[in-house]
Chain A
C-alpha cells in the first residue's frame, strides 16, 4: 500500500514537467483566444475552445493534486460557462479580468512545486479576483433559469433543456489513471439534473477474482440539461481513450439513424452502412444494387449515384443518405491527413542536427576521396548519398522551423496592456505570421522584439491629442511583419509615430563623447546611435528604464544571431525597424571561393553571377575597394586579398562574384572558384568577434578551414563613404 503510494508520487514527480509545459501552452492559448474573442465576441467556437483550455488546465492540475490551481480555475470556468450559456456577454472589463485571472493561473502553475512562492500578496490578489468572478457569476444566478433556456432556444434551436441518455463503460485502467466514474457522475450532476442513473455492475468479477485496482464499472444516466453534447462528452475527456461512451440526444428517428451512421467506426460502403443502422434491408439493397448494374449504357461515373437510387427506390430518407455520404467522405479525408504531433525534447533534436552537421562534413570528405580514385561507380554512389544527406538535412532543419506568428501573437497582450497604461490608442497588426524560422531563433528573438515593440509604443507613438494636432488619426498604428528574403527572414516593426529626434540623439552623442563635438555624421549613423551602450541607460531619448534590456542589448542579441538591425526613421511620420535574421543557425548552402591558400564561403542565395576582371591592372584603396563596369553600371568591388591581407601572388585574371545585399549589388574579388558546398557553420572564436565581414567558419571535407563571409556587413565595408579603419 505504502509502496504504491510512493510509486504514485514518483510518477507524479516525473510527469510534472510535462504537465507544466502543457499547462503553459494551454495558458498561452487562453490568452490568445481571449484577445481574439475581444475582436469577435460572437464567435462561439473561440468561446468553446477557451472553455476547453481552462477545463483542461483544471483537470490535469487535479491529477497532480494542485488544489490551488483547481480551486481558482474552477471560478474562471464557471464564468466561462455562464458566457457560453449566453448569460454573460464579454465586455472589456470581463476580458481584462479574465486576462488577469489567466496570469494568476500561470503564476500558480509556475509555482506549483513551491508553496512558499505563494505570498500573502498573491493570495490577496487571488481572493480579489475570485470575489470579482463570483460577483459576475452569482449576480447572474438570480435570473430565472427559464429565461436563459428560452433565449438559448430562440438563438440556436438546440439550447433548451433536453434529456440526454449517456451510457459509459469504463476501461480497466480508469482507476490506475487516477480517474473515477463516481466523480464523473458527480460532475455530470453539476451540469444538469440527473433523471436517473443506473450503475452497471454485472461485469464486476466476484470478490475473490477481483483486481480491486481495475475498473469494471459502467453507468447509464439520463441527464436533463441545456448544455450541448461537447460539454457532456467533456466530462469524459480524461477517460475517453479507454471508455466506451455513448451520448444520445433526444432526436427524431431519422436524426438518430444519421448519428448512428456517424458512429460506425470504419464502413466505407454506403449500402452496408445503411443496412447496418437498419435504414434499408439487405434484400432491398441487393435489389437496388442490381438495378444500378443493369441499367444499360450507364457511364461508370453515374454508378456512384447509389444514394439517389436508394432514396427513390428504397424510400430511404434523404437525411440518412446525406449522413452516410458525409461519413464516407470523412473517412476518406480524415484517415491520412489527421494532424498528429510528437513531443520531442529540444536537445535531442539538437543532437541529431549536430550529428547531421558532422555527416555533411564527412560526406564532403568521402566525395573528395571518391573523386581522387577516379572510379565512376564510387563517385556516383557518393553523389547519390550526398543528395540523400541533403534531403535529410532539409527535412531535419524543417523540424525545427516554427511559424513566427506564435511569438508575434504574444505581443498582442503586451501592446494592449502597455498602450492602455500609457493612455494611447493603438491598432496593432500582424502580417505574415506564418513565415517560418528556426525554433531556437524564435525564442532568442522574442525579447529584443518585445523591447522594440514597447519602445515604439512608449516613444514612437504620440498620445491621441498630440496625434490629432499633427493631423494624424488618434489611434496609432503598429505593424509587426515577417517575410522571407533571400536566405533570411525580415522582421519589421513599423509605427506611424514621431520617429527619431535626430537633433536630440546627436546632442546626446556629443555630450557623451560618442562622437566628436560638432561632427555631424549621416542620418543613418545618427539613427544607429540609439543602439550605442551609452544610450541605453535611463532617462534618455529612448528611455525605457526599468525594462532590464537596453537598446544596445537588443542589437547585441540580434547580432549574436548573425542578424542585422536597421532603422528607417522619418521624423514626424514614423519609424521602421528592420531585423534581418538568417533562417537557421546550423547549415547553409555555400559557394566556395579561394584567395591564395585561404578558402571563403559565400551564402549561395546571395550570389547573383560571376564575372571576370583584370587582376593586377586595377588599383585598389587601402581596404581593397575598387569599381568595375557591369553592363553599363558601376559595381563596387572589394578585393578580399587586400581586405584580409591574404598572402598570394595576384594572378592576371581574377573572378568577381556579384552578390545581392540589402544595400544593393556589389562584387567580391576572388582568385579561384571552387563551386557549391554544403556548409556547416561553426562559430568563430571570441578572438575574432570583432572581425567585420566574417560570420563564422566551416570545416571542409578536406579538413581545411574556410571562413564564411557575411554579405551584409561586407556590404557596409564596401559602400562606406569614409575609408574604414584596418579591419584585421
Chain B
C-alpha cells in the first residue's frame, strides 16, 4: 500500500483547481497499481470550505472507493457542520463531536 494522498492545508476554493488536478492524477496513478481502497489523509487540513468538501464528494461520485485515514479537527468539524459525516471514521466522530 502506497502513501495516502495528503490533502493540502488549505482545502478551499483558492486551491480547489490545483487539488482537483493533483487528486485526479493521484487517483489515476493508484488505480493502475492496485485495486485497493484509496486512502486520503486530511491530517494537514487547517482551512476547509464548501468547495473543498465538494472535491471529496466528486471523488465519491467517481465510484471509487476511498477512505479517510487521518483527519484534523478543522476538517472533521467542517464535515459535521455540513452533514457529510459518512466519510468520517465513527471513532473520530465520537471523539471530536461529543454531541
Binding site for B on A (CB under 8 A): 1, 4-5, 170, 174-175, 180-183, 185-186, 189, 194, 196-199, 201-202, 204-208, 210, 212-213, 215-217, 219-221
Contacts and interface: CB of A to CB of B under 8 A. Distances in A.
B54 A198 contact: no
Nearest to B48: A182
Contact of A207 (B59, B82, B83): B59
A199 B53 contact: yes
A182 B20 contact: no
B60 A201 contact: yes
B88 interface: no
Contact of A180 (B51, B61, B84): B51
15 contacts: A1-B18, A180-B13, A180-B49, A182-B48, A182-B50, A182-B78, A182-B81, A204-B54, A206-B61, A207-B55, A208-B24, A210-B55, A213-B13, A216-B54, A221-B83
Interface string B12-42: 0111111110011001000000000000000
A194 B48 CA distance: 20
Interface string B59-90: 11111000000000000001001111000000
B51 A212 contact: yes
Contacts of B62: 206-208
Given A4-B14, A180-B50, 10 more contacts: A1-B14, A4-B17, A180-B49, A182-B82, A198-B83, A205-B58, A206-B61, A207-B23, A210-B55, A217-B82
Contacts of A217: 50, 53-54, 57, 82
Contact of B61 (A186, A196, A204, A215): A204
B68 to A, nearest CB: 15
A197 B82 contact: yes
Contacts of A4: 14, 17
A669 B52 CA distance: 83
Contact of B49 (A1, A182, A202): A182
A181 B50 contact: yes
Contacts of A196: 83
A191 to B, nearest CB: 14
B46 to A, nearest CB: 14
B81 A213 contact: no
Given A175-B13, A196-B83, A212 B27 contact: no
A182 B13 contact: no
| A170, A205, A212, A220, most chain B CB atoms within 10 A | A212
Given A182-B82, A219-B83, A207 B49 contact: no
B57 A204 contact: yes
Nearest to A179: B50
Contacts of A170: 50
What class of interface size applies to chain B in its complex with A?
Answer: 20 to 34
Given A212-B20, A213-B16, A197 B61 contact: no
SS class, residues of chain B in contact with chain A: helix
B13 A207 contact: no
Contacts of B81: 182, 185-186, 189, 194, 197
| A5, A180, A189, A197, most chain B CB atoms within 10 A | A180
A183 B61 CA distance: 23
Contact of B50 (A175, A189, A202): A175
Nearest to A176: B13
| A197, A198, A210, most chain B CB atoms within 10 A | A210
Contacts of A208: 24, 62
B83 A197 contact: yes
A723 to B, nearest CB: 81
Nearest to B84: A199
Contacts of B23: 207
A5 B82 contact: no
Contacts of B57: 199, 201, 204, 216-217
A217 B53 CA distance: 9
Given A207-B27, A215-B50, A181 B82 contact: yes
Contacts of A197: 81-83
A518 to B, nearest CB: 82
B82 A199 contact: yes
B20 A207 contact: yes
B8 to A, nearest CB: 12
B15 to A, nearest CB: 7
A96 B15 CA distance: 45
Contacts of B18: 1
| B23, B58, B62, most chain A CB atoms within 10 A | B58
Contact of A215 (B20, B24, B54, B60): B54
Nearest to A209: B58
Contacts of B59: 207
B82 A212 contact: no
A207 B24 contact: yes
A213 to B, nearest CB: 6
A431 B16 CA distance: 58
A206 B60 CA distance: 7
A205 B82 CA distance: 18
A202 B82 CA distance: 14
Contacts of A181: 50, 82
Given A175-B13, A175-B51, A207-B23, A199 B83 contact: yes
A170 B13 CA distance: 15
Closest 4 CB pairs of A and B: A197-B83, A212-B16, A201-B57, A181-B50
A217 B57 CA distance: 9
Given A212-B17, A212-B20, A201 B51 contact: no
| B24, B55, B84, most chain A CB atoms within 10 A | B84
B82 A185 contact: yes
| B15, B17, B50, most chain A CB atoms within 10 A | B50
B18 to A, nearest CB: 6
Contacts of A183: 49-50
Contact of A201 (B16, B24, B61, B78): B61
Contacts of B27: 207
A201 B60 CA distance: 9
B16 A219 contact: no
A180 to B, nearest CB: 5
Contacts of B58: 204-207, 210, 212
B91 to A, nearest CB: 21
Contacts of B84: 199, 201
Contacts of A174: 50
Nearest to B78: A182
A206 B55 CA distance: 9
Nearest to A184: B50
